[in-house]
Structure 1
Amino acid sequence: MDADARIRAAIEEHWRASESGETDAEHAIYADDATLSYPQSGERFRGRATIQAQRGGHPADRHFTVVRITGSRNLWVSECIITYDGSPTHAVSIMEFDGERVVRETQYFADPFVAPAWRAALAERGP
């Protein structure tokens, strides 16, 4: 298995473990000194233990649906729908790798919105 295939498998395992609540497996992908940034809230979390602690304390019932994973070598993007207490939020996770561990992740979140009627004739329904 080449390096890209191993990284893709690790990302798939990360999201599977996120969905099933297996916090140790979810965070095994991160380097000890990894950083996680949420630009929209201005937060940065340093270190695998801190990343795991802030996710472990999340009060919502969360579910993860992976829409797409794309990338190669040291840069990978996951598009997901994360459902918090029944409300879906679209998320993009940008993971930067050093070898086979994430050293930097940036996540962006966007709530769904109603499409405007004026462009209905031009659009098709997406995910």
Structure 2
Amino acid sequence: MANVEETVLTYWAACESRDWARMGALLADDVVYHLPQSRERIRGRDAYLQFNREYPGRWRFSVTRVTGAGARVASWITATSDAEELPAVTFFDLDEAGLISVITEFWPEPYEPPPGREHLVERYPAATARSA
């Protein structure tokens, strides 16, 4: 099995460059993509690639952290468009051939913290969070 972290870094580089052939080469035929927050699931390489090709807007991706062991990898990225910047956490499972077989992605919405913990926390700008 190839280095799982390198596989995910290559995946994000393919997303960034919109190189769908390169991305497709990393995916199992029966890859499953989960979006728990919207309760959506996409099954199969072709459908997942089409989903990405047709996604609206021009997004840029920067990788903050990738870590993995065995056949599992997690990544923390920031996706940026003209209008917004969103952090995301993505979990990848790879099959025996080293291909990505399951992707589970969380796109948390930024929010203001509730009052009452100001004495315990330090606030920082969003851009600083990426260098943590």
What TM-score do the two structures reach when normalised by structure 1?
Answer: 0.86
1:85 pairs with 2:82? yes
Identity of aligned pairs, percent?
28
**Pairwise CA distance, 1:102:** 1.1
Question: Partner letter of residue 40 of structure 1?
Answer: Q
**SS of the residue aligned with 1:105?**
strand
Distance 1:111 1:65 in 2: 17
Moved over 4 A (4+): 115-118
**Does 1 or 2 have the higher relative contact order (CA < 8 Å, sep 6+)?**
2
Structure 1 contact 74–97 (Cα < 8 Å) conserved: yes
Q: Give the aligned partner of residue 58 of structure 1.
A: 55
Q: Give the aligned partner of residue 34 of structure 2.
A: 37
Structure 1: stretches of 5+ with no match in the other structure: none
Structure 2 contact 77–89 (Cα < 8 Å) conserved: yes
**Pairwise CA distance, 1:120:** 4.2
Distance 2:83 2:21 in 1: 24
Structure 1 contact 88–111 (Cα < 8 Å) conserved: no
Distance 2:34 2:81 in 1: 19
**SS of the residue aligned with 1:104?**
strand
Structure 2 contact 76–90 (Cα < 8 Å) conserved: yes
Structure 2 contact 4–68 (Cα < 8 Å) conserved: no
Higher strand share: 1
Structure 1 contact 93–105 (Cα < 8 Å) conserved: yes
Q: Matches of residues 102-121 of structure 1 in structure 2 within 5 Å? A: 102-115=100-113, 118-121=116-119
What TM-score do the two structures reach when normalised by structure 2?
Answer: 0.83
Say what the alpha-carbon RMSD is for the aligned residues: 1.8
Structure 2: stretches of 5+ with no match in the other structure: none
